Amino acid sequence: MPELPEVETTVRGLARYLEGAVLKRVEPRREGLRRPFPADLVQVMTGARVTGMGRRAKYGLIDTDRGQTLVFHLGMSGRWRIEPEELGAHDHLVLETESGHTLALCDPRRFGSVDLVETARLGEWPQFAAMGPEPLGDELTAAHLKAALAGRSAAIKLMLLDQRIVAGLGNIYVCEALFRAGIAPGKAAGKVSGPALARLVPEIRAVIAEAIEAGGSTLRDYAQPDGQLGYFSKRFDVYDREGQPCSQCGAPIMRFAQGGRSTWHCSKCQK
Ligand SMILES: [Zn+2]
């Protein structure tokens, strides 16, 4: 599943082709993904100039001079193909720029989404309205976490996956950040000390920033938006490493189910 770093990498990759470009052709090749494409997608986007690109949580943003932003989500298996030699059955939306670049949103499992949102009101869009701060933004601070987690008995790991607390943090990065900060994933969120939260915030930033730098993490079904299928290799300390030795103490990494998903941790290093 594409996580925040993959979405950021995708946006940066797309920007090379789309920033400032005029969209000559906008072609939906089916009705939609997890929900229908906007009825006015072709009308609004054809002839529009891309004025900026961005990301909010795991959504990519393509701003246009029509005052509308195309908001995409890659779902479980989405990726953008750059200059595909030929279009395939899973290329569901095709954009062609005036300068002749072709970009195709490919999503075999169709859990992704494409929406048009008024740019000036993006913050009010229901999916964004209740979202917490970006992990790389200045608003994510130990004080924010302290306030948001105060009195909460749910596990710190589950709270960090809650988009209202921090936007766009996925399972991998929560496991890794908690390991680096030495915080047990099952600990009640409200019981995590101020100093521990102060250690956690820079580790959240670091794991995300390192993954972006590596160009996105190694995940099935994900390809870089440069037209080449391939996997980036990123070594994780705990994620998907059950039974392997902890990089700090050598004890075996443990896995348990939390909120229906796996958590990996070192029970010696994380308290
Ligand atoms: Zn350890």
Distance from residue 244's CA to the centre of ligand 1 (Å): 11
Is residue 270 pLDDT above 50, yes or no?
yes
pLDDT tens, position by position, 193-207: 999 999 999 999 999
Per DSSP, 95 falls in state: E
Residues above pLDDT 90, as percent of the chain? 82
Strands (E) in the chain, as ranges, are 23-28, 50-56, 59-64, 68-73, 79-82, 91-97, 102-106, 113-118, 254-258, 261-265
Instruction: Choose the catalytic residue: 55, 58, 79, 241.
Output: 58
User: φ, ψ for residue 18 (rounded to 5)?
Assistant: -105, -30
Is residue 61 pLDDT above 70, yes or no?
yes
Residue from 233, 256, 155, 168 nearest 205 by CA: 168
Distance from residue 247's CA to the centre of ligand 1 (Å): 6
> Alpha-carbon distance 96 to 98, whole Å?
7
58 among known catalytic residues:
yes
2 among known catalytic residues:
yes
Q: Which two tokens stand for residue 44?
A: 């609004």
pLDDT tens, position by position, 14-46: 998 999 999 999 999 999 999 999 999 999 999
Distance from residue 199's CA to the centre of ligand 1 (Å): 17
pLDDT tens, position by position, 148-183: 999 999 999 999 999 999 999 999 999 999 999 999
At residue 234, the pLDDT reads 62
> Alpha-carbon distance 239 to 220, whole Å?
14
Distance from residue 266's CA to the centre of ligand 1 (Å): 5
At residue 211, the pLDDT reads 83
> Alpha-carbon distance 164 to 147, whole Å?
12
Distance from residue 256's CA to the centre of ligand 1 (Å): 16
CA distances from 129 to 57, 123, 135, 203 (A): 12, 6, 16, 26
Instruction: Choose the catalytic residue: 16, 35, 235, 261.
Output: 261
Q: Are 173 and 1 in contact (CB under 8 A)?
A: no
Distance from residue 268's CA to the centre of ligand 1 (Å): 5
Tell me the pTM.
0.89
Instruction: Choose the catalytic residue: 2, 5, 38, 185.
Output: 2
Distance from residue 145's CA to the centre of ligand 1 (Å): 25
> Alpha-carbon distance 72 to 60, whole Å?
5
Question: Where does the pLDDT of residue 225 fall: very low under 50, low under 70, confident under 90, or very high at 90 and above?
Answer: low
Distance from residue 211's CA to the centre of ligand 1 (Å): 22
Lowest mean pLDDT among 91-100, 147-156, 213-222: 213-222
